[in-house]
Structure 1
Amino acid sequence: MPLPFLAADRDFGTTASDVALPHAGTDQWRRPYRLGPQRVAISALALLLAAYLLISALIIAIAGTVGAAGVTLLLAACVIAFALRVLRMGIWVSPRGLRRVGLLSTKTLRWREIERVSTVQQPVRWLGLPRTVQGQAVHIEPRRGEPLAPLLTDHSADFLTRAEAFARASDVLEAWASEHRH
């Protein structure tokens, strides 16, 4: 069974029309880069934990403690939701705008609300931890309001040890911004 969202040879062009899609719709939200191995590993470990929790819930239910089995089943569902959300996190683009999906929140900006998208050298957080290292970050300058936190960094879970992927993703985001801003 082909899994187009995992294809290693997927081409991410520099314009909105060049981005290869795993679906036919051009108006859907899409991620302009592939997931990093750290993010996939975290989700895989969480799903492994969920499998153990589901087996535990089954054993507890067979033993006769339905309440405890329900709590374990609920905990497994929360772990599965966490794993799926970790896979969903990141930057998504469409002709309507740019969407930043975090673990607990999602923020969407229309292209007309964005003044400029640019890549800058600056200290960045290593894997989202408080430790900072010198790196690159993609910034959004909104037309109104305060500046936003960096969209992407070259030391995040998606781009650590993948400098070419970061350069390609930042170029794609800048191209989308310049093509769709009015």
Structure 2
Amino acid sequence: MINSASHTLRVADNWVRPYEPGSGRWLVIAWEAVALAMLSWATVRQFDLMGHGVRVVACLLAAVWVVGAWRILQLGVYISTEGVLIRGLLRSRVMRWREIGGVRLQRTRHRLGPWEIESGNTVLLERLNGETVNTELWEKGVDFHARPTVFRAVYQEIRNRHRTAASEQ
């Protein structure tokens, strides 16, 4: 079961991610493997570990990597007739269509000192209470960086599903 702010829904088999994950996810997983291998090496060297200590550190960090890689592969936005499921790295969130007032794009910029870096669009869900929820769908992210038409199609699919659900109420 996954908890939303006000409801609990049983996650069924009818949740569909309306896009194929980008190949950039594998680069992130490989990067994390290298980073954890370096952390393992540094830990062994720092604490002069031998034998069982080396195996414990290696197994612990390998387990962290496996769990993290699995979550990275599951990241994304899933839709169904019930609503939207947003799977993040650490938590998941379900929002029913009737809780969503609108779906919109927001232009994102990041500041780095005196410079502003254009980061593209992200999809936001507007709740009926005025709160906005980030969907983690980012135009320049690992899933859509080289596929802007896929990003637009996913955005339109979520908007269409929301409109359909709103007209049925």
Common fold, TM-score beyond 0.5? yes
Return the match for 1:136 from 121, 135, 150: 121
- Paired residue type of 1:107: R
Q: Counting strand residues as a fraction of each chain, which structure ranks higher?
A: 2
Query: After superposition, what is the alpha-carbon deviation per residue over 1:58-87, rounded to whole angstroms, capped at 9, x for unaligned?
Result: xxxxxx933431332121011111111111
| Cross-structure match for 1:79 | 65
**Residue ranges of structure 2 left out of the alignment (5+ in a row):** 1-11, 38-49, 111-115
Any runs of at least 4 consecutive aligned residues in structure 1 with deviations exceeding 3 A, and if so which?
44-51
Q: How does 1:56-67 map to 2 (within 5 A)?
A: 65-67=51-53
Q: Secondary structure at the match of 2:77?
A: strand
Asked if the contact 1:89/1:101 (under 8 Å) is kept, the reply is yes
- Paired residue type of 2:52: V
Return the match for 1:37 from 7, 23, 26: 23
| Cross-structure match for 2:82 | 96
Q: Secondary structure at the match of 2:18?
A: coil
> Judging changes above 3 Å, is the alpha-carbon distance between structure 1 residues 32 and 79 closer, same or farther for their aligned structure 2 residues?
same
| Cross-structure match for 1:114 | 100
> Judging changes above 3 Å, is the alpha-carbon distance between structure 1 residues 170 and 121 closer, same or farther for their aligned structure 2 residues?
same
Q: Secondary structure at the match of 2:78?
A: strand
**Residue ranges of structure 1 left out of the alignment (5+ in a row):** 1-25, 52-63, 126-130
- Paired residue type of 1:41: L
Q: Distance in 1 between matches of 2:18 and 2:61?
A: 33
Q: Distance in 2 between matches of 1:70 and 1:134?
A: 40
Q: Which moved more, 1:37-46 or 1:159-168?
A: 37-46
Identity %: 29
| Cross-structure match for 1:173 | 158
Asked if the contact 2:120/2:140 (under 8 Å) is kept, the reply is yes
Cα deviation, residue 89, structure 1: 0.9
- Paired residue type of 1:73: C
> Judging changes above 3 Å, is the alpha-carbon distance between structure 1 residues 156 and 81 closer, same or farther for their aligned structure 2 residues?
same
Q: How does 1:1-80 map to 2 (within 5 A)?
A: 27-46=13-32, 65-80=51-66
Cα deviation, residue 110, structure 1: 0.9
Asked if the contact 2:84/2:96 (under 8 Å) is kept, the reply is yes
Q: Distance in 1 between matches of 2:103 and 2:159?
A: 5
Name the Cα RMSD after superposition.
2.8
Count of residue pairs the alignment pairs up: 141
Asked if the contact 2:83/2:96 (under 8 Å) is kept, the reply is yes
Pairing 1:162–2:147 present? yes
Asked if the contact 1:116/1:142 (under 8 Å) is kept, the reply is yes
Q: Distance in 2 between matches of 1:158 and 1:82?
A: 17
Q: Secondary structure at the match of 2:94?
A: strand
Q: Distance in 2 between matches of 1:85 and 1:151?
A: 14
